[in-house]
Amino acid sequence: MSDLLPATEPTATLMDGIYRYQRHIYDVSRHYYLLGRDRMIAELDVPAGGTVLEVGCGTARNLVAIARAYPDAEIYGIDISTEMLKSADATVRKARLQHRVRPVYGDAADLDAHGQFGLRGFDRIVFSYSLSMIPPWRHALASAVDNLAPGGEIHIVDFAGQRDLPAWFGKGLRTWLDKFHVSPRLEVGTELALQSARVGGSARVRSIHRDYAMIGRLKRGPLR
């Protein structure tokens, strides 16, 4: 699929096929290799009364964690998989956070803060191991930047290049990820720099766990 176009129905069908059954064991199984998620959440520093959107919210595991870490924030999530949203709704209900957490169907590459949520923009937008699963990932990142409030931030955690790990480990991990249509976005640092320059902001990326994963941040500049 072209990186220049929004995700389409084939992407939704593919994701539903992958997660129709996987969603039931997703949080238990991914706990061991989706590293850095809680570190990223701790660094969000959501302003009082702020708004947070997770792109590719999956089971809503992160949405609930963010809601608990920032109890006066409004939390939103989008996902293109209706199967995953079934688990997300159940997770939010179990946590009794329906009044603050709202996961809905949405295309990562076609965000619309006002049309979908009645907001001018989000204070924080999160990509947690989702950019590596979004075919038009650059388009999704640009769309997120366009939907940031002035001074807002994008926070990313995802797979990195594993350059400081044994070669056999990196090769095995990539083979495993291919089975789930996951492709680490090794150019994300460059793309963040380009996007931040576009909106008068700043960006940085750092690797964690010997380059197993990366954490990135983009801060949008103030309204001109």
pLDDT reported for residue 33: 60
pLDDT reported for residue 63: 97
pLDDT tens for the chain, residues 1 to 224: 233 334 455 555 645 544 453 544 444 445 446 889 999 999 999 999 999 999 999 999 999 999 999 999 999 999 988 888 999 999 999 999 999 999 999 999 999 999 999 999 999 999 999 999 898 999 999 999 999 999 999 999 999 998 888 898 888 888 888 887 788 999 999 999 999 999 999 999 999 989 999 999 999 998 65
- The full set of domains in the chain, from first to last, is 9-219 (3.40.50.150)
Query: Concatenated DSSP letters for the chain?
Result: --TTS---HHHHHHHHHHHHHHTTTHHHHHTTTSTTHHHHHHT--PPTT-EEEEES-TTSHHHHHHHHHSTTSEEEEEES-HHHHHHHHHHHHHTT-TTTEEEEE--GGG--HHHHHS-S-EEEEEEES-GGG-TTHHHHHHHHHHTEEEEEEEEEEEE---TTS-HHHHHHHHHHHHTTT----TTHHHHHHHHHHHTT-EEEEEEETTTTEEEEEEEPPPP-
Task: Return the bridge partners of 219, or none.
Answer: 153, 202
pLDDT reported for residue 88: 94
pLDDT reported for residue 1: 29
**Stated pTM of the model:** 0.85
CA angle 120, 36, 217 (to 5 degrees): 40
Q: What is the Cα 169 distance to its own chain's centre?
A: 25
pLDDT reported for residue 179: 80
pLDDT reported for residue 10: 58
